[in-house]
Each structure stands twice: as structure tokens, then as C-alpha cells.
A and B are shown apart, each in its own frame.
Chain A
Amino acid sequence: MSDFNLNSKSFYTALNSNKLIGSKCNKCGKLVSPQRSICPQCQSNDVEVVEFSGKGELAAFTVIFVPPTHMAEAGYSNKNPYCVGIVELEEGSRVTAQILDVDVQQPQNIKIGKPVTMTIIERGSEDEHHKYLAFK
């Protein structure tokens, strides 16, 4: 039994414990992160929370030069852009996450298919920080 339930908010509760969770369908075997109470492949509700390895590869990405407010508060700007992308996890599911340790000034050198590993980051404004999923 996992410490985390299937509610969508548990994804962030788990990140606070430095864990990437998803769900496993006991009927068809489908693994998906974030976790679902109903299997997106076979619609079974015989699903349970499992921990994912945090390994995967980059499936798509962008380098953001015009950040939204919450990323601007974290220090990003057109002078200090950041990479965000979609990672295909080795379990088969895809997740959205910030991508670290890539050359954001030369985005054409960032390669789709690049192997990446999960890391948990903290961002936020001066008075409030939260944990987020990232890969490097």
C-alpha cells in the first residue's frame, strides 16, 4: 500500500516527499502519471498508486522567453529564459516539467530523445516556496 491516495492533489503531496507517483491498473497493467482513479486505457477502477522511477527521455520542449507571473517571480525573464518540456517516462507515461541543465541560450542544441532523470525543485516568491517536478 502506498502512502498516497489517488486524488489528483496527491501528486504534489508526493513531490513534497521527493517522490514521483502514478497509478497502475491491475486489470490491463497501464501505468500513468499523474495518477488516475479510472484507468485511461481500459476504464477499470481497480487501480493503485505506485512510485515511478523518475527516468525518461525528452519528448518535446520549448525555451520560454516571456514567462508567466509565477515564473517571473522565480527569477526568469527574456534575459534568463528557462526550458520546459514533456518527458516520456520509462513506464510509458508522459509528464510536463521544467528541464534543467540544458543550454537555454542555444535551444537548437537541445535534443529530443535526450535521457533525463527526475529532480525535485523549489520555486516561488520570496515568502512562499513550493516543490515542483523537474528533470535534468
Chain B
Amino acid sequence: MTSKKLARGVAVVGAGMSKFGAFSDKTSRDLFVEAFQEMKSSVSKGLDTDKIEAFYLGNFSSDQFEKQAHLAPIVANWVGLSPIPSVRVEGACASSGIAIREAMLAIASGMYDVVLVGGLEKMTDLPINEVTEALATAADTQFEIPAGFTFPGFYAAMATSYLHEYDASPLAFAHVSIKNHENGALNNKAQFGQTIPQIMASKKARAVKKGRPEPTWQTEIDFLTDPRGNPNIAWPMTLFDCSPVSDGGVALLLVAEELADQFSDAPLFIIGSGQASDGALTERESLSYIPAAVKAAQSAYEMANLGPDNIDLAEVHDCFTIAEIMATEDLGFFQRGEGWKAVMSGKTARTGEHPINTSGGLKSKGHPVGASGAGQVVEIWKQLHGIAGERQVPNNPRIGLTHNVGGSGQTCVVHIFERRNNDE
């Protein structure tokens, strides 16, 4: 099968995000304003916002989280963009990954030249059990949820299948968490600004202050394998295997290729894009990987005419630690059954052969579900422009990949970006 190409190229020329976290004093539109302002200032040759012709907003469920449906036109109005066409795109936790793809397709069609992409979720207003119920609607509510599954449960079940199939060590999950917290501690937009050792130190200090016995953990693994420090959520997934409940907004500016140089000195061209779907967990060809991710990656690599070894860094959908390990295999960075060893041996660290989730990933940066896919692109933007500060990947990276999953794998969307400097 020959791969299909865009009718014309599309580039990202601006990227911004709010801080991710829990913000009781802000609504989703406030978070989007922050992201929009930062996006505007990231456009190196300046942005006249009157040039924006359409808005695609990735959002999973503002109707459940904020009792506000029809979010796209409201948010567009709040940043002064009425009356441009404004569309909310929903694909669970892949909502804004899909919004990027829909915006790209709209530009490639010739209908628009300049399109704003948003990603937005405000989750922390609801009590945790209602957040859980809202997220559960991304699964098959007729058959999976009544059985007693939860979202951590789906990934935990995939984890048991993975551990069984490859005789893998569950300590690999802890290593994903340690790495991503280490990266997130260097990201001022991350929800958790602490490394695991820093978290251990503050828990020890709190215990002493409250007159309780000081925990005896020496290493990160001691802490992460102690159910008193790191309780089970859905065995074998523990608290520190799970991404948090978060608020956050992201804004990206996409333009047609012939306009890219008018906006940016170093546009990121979308050279690969793939998306795939699947049924409930029971319908999959395997429980040890995510078939839709494999298919989406294949399409994106074919379109880019590149393979996994051409990718300088990737932001992958680590909603749970097992998900990152499966992603590194689904994307072809490692053979099946090798991803767990790769994280344990440091191959996915910032200085490893395949840097994964230098932003801290969803685990540490936060997971405002509808914003997460677009948020991944902000990190790729920073890394490919060499402005990621202390967490910058070495050797002048040029090609980055994002992998954004909806639900337990019913949706996956993969994008590949290439920096092309004007003066080259």
C-alpha cells in the first residue's frame, strides 16, 4: 500500500502552554488565555491574530468537568477570535492530538492557511470520585465499566499481560516514574516539580514533624515498593505509576507551508501523521501492546519516509508507567519485550539513545486529558529549537515525535515534526 501525502505541507509556527496543575482560581478559558499569550510570543516573526481563520479545540469533557459544553466558540471569543469557525474535537485523552491532525487536514485541503489548535481540560473542580466517573465514560460503559474496571485497571491488566508474556520485572514501572519525575523537576510548567528523592525527603520530614517514625527508605526503589509510601491503585499499578488529575491549556499555531517563513525563523513541519482506532480491550489482537498505536506509527513513518532510528526524541502517552514501556515498543524504538529493559538501563533518559518524555511526561508534567496531546508538541517545539534549558537533549535535535493515546487504546495519533531553519 502506498502511503498518502498531504495535498500541501503544514508547519507549526507557534506553541505555548499554561502551567499544568490544580488551579482552583481559574476556569478552562483562563488557562487557554495563558497558553494563547505564550503561543503568540513564541511566533518569532510576530502574529497578527486577525490572520487566524479557524480554531480546532481538543477537549475531552468540559461538559462533565465544568458543566460547560460547546466550549470551542466560547474560548475563541475569550481570546478575541469570533466569528471564526470554532470546533471542539473529542477523542478522550487524544482529543488535542486529533485536533492537530484535523487542523492539518483542513490546511492541506486548501480551505484555510492559518489555524489555531487548542488543547484544554479543567478537571480539578470535581471531587475525585466524579473525576473517575467522568474519565470512565471514555471506556465501553456498557461492558467494561460494569465489570468493575477503572482506567488504572485497564493499564494494570495490560501490565499483567506484559509481565507474563515477557517475564519482565515490575521494577521497570518504578524506573519510568523515577525518570519522568527527574525530567519534570526541570520543567517549570510541570505539575510536580520534585524528583522522587525530593518527594521522599519531604515525606520523611513530614513524618518527623507529626511525631511519627521516620520512614527507613534508602533508595527510590525502597520508597516505590513500600505500599505505605506508594499505595496500590490497581495492582500492579501504584500511585506513582499513575498520572495525576490536572488542569491545563495549550495553544499551537499551524500554517500552510508556503506561509511558514513569514511567521517563523525555524518552523516545525509536520512530516508524518497517523491515526488509528480500535474496540474495547477485549477486542484487541494483543493485551501486551496497543495495536492502534502500532498502526498510527506505521502510517506516520510511511508518510515521513523515516523509521524509528531517525527520531531524535519522543513525547509518548505515559498516562500510566506501563503505557510508556508499551509505547516505546509500539513506536519501534525497541523490540517487543525489550522496552522494560531499555528504561532500566537508561536508554530512554535525556542522554540515552532514545530520549522519551523529556518534559516529565504526563506522569510528572500533568495530564489535563484534552490538553495532553498538544502539550507534547510544546516540548518538541522547545527541544527542537534548543530552548529546553536544563533538560535540553544534546546534539541539536531536528526530528521529534508525539504519541497520544485515547482511552485504553481505542484511539492513537502519532505525529512527526522536522525543524527547517529559514537560513538553511
Contact = CB atoms under 8 A, between A and B. Distances in A.
Contact of B283 (A40, A62, A130, A133): A40
B23 interface: no
Contacts of B281: 60, 86, 94, 96
A34 interface: yes
Interface in A83-110: 84-86, 93-98, 107
Given A8-B142, A60-B287, A66-B234, A86 B148 contact: no
B161 interface: yes
Given A68-B129, A68-B136, A98-B148, A112 B164 contact: yes
A72 B150 CA distance: 12
B232 A63 contact: yes
B233 A63 contact: no
The size class of the interface chain A forms with chain B is 35 or more
B235 interface: yes
Given A8-B142, A86-B281, A64 B160 contact: no
Contact of B235 (A59, A72, A98, A107): A107
A12 to B, nearest CB: 8
A64 B133 CA distance: 15
B280 interface: yes
Given A68-B132, A96-B281, A86 B287 contact: yes
Contact of A63 (B129, B161, B234): B234
The size class of the interface chain B forms with chain A is 35 or more
Contacts of A68: 129, 132-133, 136, 145, 148, 150
Contact of A96 (B144, B156, B237): B144
A113 B163 CA distance: 13
Interface of B: 129, 132-133, 136, 142-150, 152-153, 156-161, 164, 231-237, 279-283, 287
Interface of A: 8, 11, 34, 40, 59-72, 76, 78, 81-82, 84-86, 93-98, 107, 112-113, 130, 132-133
26 contacts: A40-B279, A60-B157, A60-B287, A62-B153, A62-B159, A63-B232, A63-B235, A64-B153, A65-B232, A66-B150, A66-B234, A69-B129, A71-B148, A81-B235, A82-B148, A93-B282, A94-B281, A95-B143, A96-B147, A96-B281, A96-B282, A97-B147, A98-B148, A113-B164, A132-B146, A133-B147
